[in-house]
A and B are shown apart, each in its own frame.
Chain A
Amino acid sequence: SQTIHQWPATLVQPVGSPLSLECTVEGTSNPNLYWYRQAAGRGLQLLFYSVGIGQISSEVPQNLSASRPQDRQFILSSKKLLLSDSGFYLCACYRGRGTEAFFGQGTRLTVV
């Protein structure tokens, strides 16, 4: 089974600072990768997904961007953080119908 590594686990950043969250995958090749954001006590909002190197699709226009420089690496970035970017960010790997998704342990981002 796949293992998803996310870091850091927690992050406190000032408004206007840049952001880089990294996600790496072990145990599979050519995975479909996803970034979700979760507000406190709420469900998951899909932000970006990628089906391969350099291929990024955005679900929600916002202050964030994503990149996939390597097959098993997915990065979430921002040039200037906003207060509204605070939340719990989850990286996931999902191969499609009839399979289960694997999640990282998440990064809790607080923008102050």
Chain B
Amino acid sequence: SQQGEEDPQALSIQEGENATMNCSYKTSINNLQWYRQNSGRGLVHLILIRSNEREKHSGRLRVTLDTSKKSSSLLITASRAADTASYFCATDDRMDSSYKLIFGSGTRLLVRP
């Protein structure tokens, strides 16, 4: 099942501009994570925000979480061509004695030099 859904599906911006990606989810969460995937590669963890946090920063990344709206946003400031990648949000779902990460469909970001 899809827990997180990203919006927009694709985003094209000029280098130096900010990029904002949104994620909506369906059930209550303990935390929400954002991952980046370069074309044809594995996913790399970017940032995790817990349900009791509203905003978190890491370098040029800013993540917000609104649990009342079941949504999160990822802002990349002063984008660079190297930021071109797909970005996914993920939430975890309890299963028996463990957890599984459920990913959204992703936002494909293109940063034009």
Partners in one complex: yes
- Taking Cβ atoms with an 8 Å cutoff, the residues of A that contact B are 4, 6, 32, 34, 36, 41-44, 46, 49, 51, 57, 59, 88, 90, 92, 94, 96-98, 100-106, 108
CB-defined contacts of B30 to chain A, threshold 8 Å: 97-98
Q: Are A106 and B101 in contact (CB under 8 A)?
A: no
Q: How large is the interface on B (under 10, 10 to 19, 20 to 34, 35 or more residues)?
A: 20 to 34
C-alpha gap A101/B32 in the complex (Å) = 12
In the assembled complex, the Cα of A49 lies from the Cα of B33 at a distance in Å of 19
Contact of B101 with A92 in the complex, beta carbons under 8 Å? yes
Beyond A41-B108, A103-B43, A106-B40, whether A97 also contacts B98 by CB under 8 A is: no
In Å, the complex CA distance between A96 and B31 comes to 11
The reply on B2 being an interface residue by CB < 8 A is yes
Which residues of chain A are within 8 angstroms of B90 by Cβ–Cβ distance?
101
Cα distance A58–B53 in the bound complex, in angstroms: 33
Minimum CB–CB distance for A1 against chain B, Å? 10
Most buried by A among B33, B97, B101, B102: B101
Determine if B40 and A32 form an interchain contact, defined as CB atoms under 8 angstroms apart: no
Asked whether, in the complex, the Cβ of B98 is within 8 Å of the Cβ of A106, the reply is: no
A100 contacts B48, C-beta separation under 8 Å: yes
Interchain CB contact under 8 A, B44 and A42? no
Nearest chain B CB to A34 CB, angstrom units: 7
Contact B45 A101 (CB under 8 A): yes
- Identify 12 residue pairs between A and B in the complex whose beta-carbon atoms are under 8 Å apart, listed by A's number: A6-B42, A34-B101, A43-B88, A46-B101, A46-B102, A49-B95, A88-B40, A94-B99, A97-B99, A100-B33, A101-B35, A103-B44
The answer to the question of B105 belonging to the interface, with a C-beta cut-off of 8 Å to chain A, is yes
With A32-B98, A100-B48 in contact, is A43–B103 under 8 Å at CB?
Answer: yes
